[in-house]
Amino acid sequence: MNLKEERLGSEVVFDGKMVKLRFDRVRLPNGRVATREVVEHPGAVAIVPVTAAGEVVLVRQYRYAVGKELLEIPAGKLGAGEDPSAAALRELEEETGYTAQTLHKLAAVYTTPGFTNELMHLYLAGNLILTKQHLDEDEFINVELFSPEQIRTFVSEGLIQDAKTFLGLLLAGVI
């Protein structure tokens, strides 16, 4: 069966700093007309950074949407026309103050295809060199280093609660 849904019309109902929301009319495979709500996203990168000593660099930040601090791998949005691997190195340095001399692509996944087109590129970064964190004035991120043993303890205690972080650590073989 052909499952494709054909776009009949599209309207931007909100265009913010973080979220751009489209409200579309589509024709379903059975010929009926339905509506679809789509959060437009430029794409993202997330990086599992591992030091020469085998420690993993994580960031702790307050996530307003979920109302708590989360421990996550560094991540960020793609700039317009930006190459994902360049974005990965840029975000890694901005958020953690580390540059990486090796970068290995782990996967590219849609984070929530039910309502957004966000495609996330996951990388393993190695041979890290400490330079300097570059945060925006209104960005607050703590950088923390952990051994794989500590991270496995966090997993067993339910402290890894972010999907991309769980997936990245598994794909990188850390856990």
Residues designated catalytic: 137
Structure tokens at 167: 């997936």
Mark the segment that binds a copy of itself (CB under 8 A) among 23-31, 85-93, 96-104, 146-154.
23-31
The residue (of 19 and 52) whose beta carbon lies closer to a copy of itself is 19
Minimum Å gap between C-beta 17 and a copy of itself is 7
Q: How far from chain centre, in Å, is Cα 56?
A: 17
Answer for which of 61, 99, 133, 150 binds a copy of itself (CB under 8 A) is 61
Residues 24-53, one symbol each (x = binds a copy of itself by CB under 8 A, - = not), give x-x-xxx-x-xxxxxx--------------
C-alpha 58/C-alpha 74 separation (Å) is 7
The residue (of 145 and 163) whose beta carbon lies closer to a copy of itself is 163
For residue 1, what are the CA distances in angstroms to 4, 29, 87? 9, 9, 39
Burial class (CB in 10 A: 0-12, 13-18, 19+), 123: buried
DSSP category for residue 114: T
Beta-carbon contacts of 155 under 8 Å, excluding residues fewer than 6 positions away, are 166, 169, 175
| One-letter amino acid of 74 | P
State which of positions 80-139 bind a copy of itself (CB under 8 A). Answer: 107-120, 137-138
Minimum Å gap between C-beta 103 and a copy of itself is 18
Examine residue 171 and tell whether it contacts a copy of itself (CB under 8 A). Answer: yes
| One-letter amino acid of 57 | V
Applying CB under 8 A, the residues found at the interface with a copy of itself are: 1, 3-5, 13-14, 16-19, 21, 23-24, 26, 28-30, 32, 34-39, 60-67, 69-70, 72, 75, 107-120, 137-138, 140, 142, 158, 160-164, 166-167, 170-171
